[in-house]
Amino acid sequence: MLTWKDIINFTVNGNPSPDRRVEKSEAEWKALLTDEQYRITRLKGTERAHTGEHCTTYEEGKYNCICCQNPLFDSTIKFSSGTGWPSFTQPITSNAIKYEKDTAYGMVRVEVMCNTCDAHLGHVFPDGPEPSRLRYCVNSESMILDPKSTS
């Protein structure tokens, strides 16, 4: 289980290696994504609070990166944070997410990105529920829900 100390360590000493890399030109990303998905994932945008498709979705499945389909989060660790964005306590694997210090807008935060394609997902904070105390605050537009098989 990742902790805040692990997250800070990644921002200072480097991220875990991804299982694979996906790299595309800006033109390829623009052709693949909607305008809003492109703005959020490639230009580090943010959707308005309480507007994202996955804010109140609690269906079973895996939340994958909208850009490269890399599995990011499992529905079993999603929780209602009341912040207006989908929130998770842990990534699906320790190397699914890339972490960088973000000092934009006069704040110090930790940005989370897909470790496979560098898509901006959102931020992680140390104010989540036990036992990890992590809250991954993620834009709905950066993920797609892949429902689990019911058979």
CA 93 to chain centroid, in Å, comes to 12
Residues 6+ apart with CB under 8 A from 21: 116, 117
* Angle 105-24-73 from CA coordinates, rounded to 5°: 60
Question: Of residues 67, 68, 114, 137, which has the active-site annotation?
Answer: 137
Amino acid at 1: M
Q: Is 55 a catalytic residue?
A: no
- Catalytic residue IDs: 137
